[in-house]
Amino acid sequence: MKLISILCMVLASPVAAEKISLNEISSYFNAMTTAEAQFSQITDTGETSTGRLFIRRPGRIRFEYDPPEATLVVVGGGQVAVFDPKSRDELLRFPLRHSPLNLVLEREVDLAQRDMVVAHFEVESQTAVTLQNPENPDYGFIQLIFNDNPVQLHQWTVQDNSGGQTHIILDSLTRGGKLSNMLFNIQHEMRKRSD
Burial class (CB within 10 angstroms; exposed 0-12, middle 13-18, buried 19+) of 147: middle
pLDDT, tens digit (0-9, with 9 covering 90-100), for 24-40: 999 999 999 999 999 99
The CATH number of whichever domain residue 108 belongs to comes to 2.50.20.10
How many structural domains does the chain have?
1
Work out the number of other CB atoms within 10 angstroms of the CB of residue 56: 22
pLDDT surpassing 50 at residue 164: yes
Q: What average pLDDT does range 111-139 have in this prediction?
A: 89
Establish if 113 belongs to a structural domain: yes
Is the pTM for the entire model greater than 0.75?
yes
Q: Are 111 and 127 in contact (CB under 8 A)?
A: no
Question: Where in the sequence is the domain holding 24, given as residue range(s)?
Answer: 17-194
**pLDDT higher for 193 or 142?**
142
**pLDDT(153) > 80:** yes
In a domain, 5, yes or no: no
Distances (CA, A) of 84 to 50, 51, 115: 15, 15, 35
Sign of the C-alpha dihedral computed for residues 161, 81, 144 and 158 taken in this order: positive
Q: Is residue 150 part of a domain?
A: yes
